[in-house]
Amino acid sequence: MMCFMAYGTYLMMNILPRQSLGRNVMIFAFTCLTYQNISSMLSDNQYDMSVMFNMLMVCKLTALAYCIEDGSVKEGDKIQLTKE
């Protein structure tokens, strides 16, 4: 599941526009994490520690996507946003 999440995020970063990248990657990553949590609980009836690594991966991928999205804002737009 971790490879699917990473490759899916990489694909989204190459295809989607930068202005909406953070939100879309966050939704995709949390959907993958939710699926893994539910399937782990239904199959084992216990909490699997491999889910913890995917939680960290969600944080890393979402932060990367928001950093790329923030990098697409031009310097003049940043100044106007802070004045409002």
Predicted TM-score of the model (pTM): 0.78
Kindly give the residue spans of alpha helices, DSSP state H, lying in the chain: 2-15, 21-44, 50-71, 75-83
| Eight-class DSSP state of 20 | G
Q: What is the average pLDDT score of the chain?
A: 83
pLDDT-based confidence at residue 60 (cuts at 50, 70, 90): very high
pLDDT at residue 66, as a whole number: 92
Residue with the bigger pLDDT between 24 and 48: it is: 24
pLDDT-based confidence at residue 40 (cuts at 50, 70, 90): confident
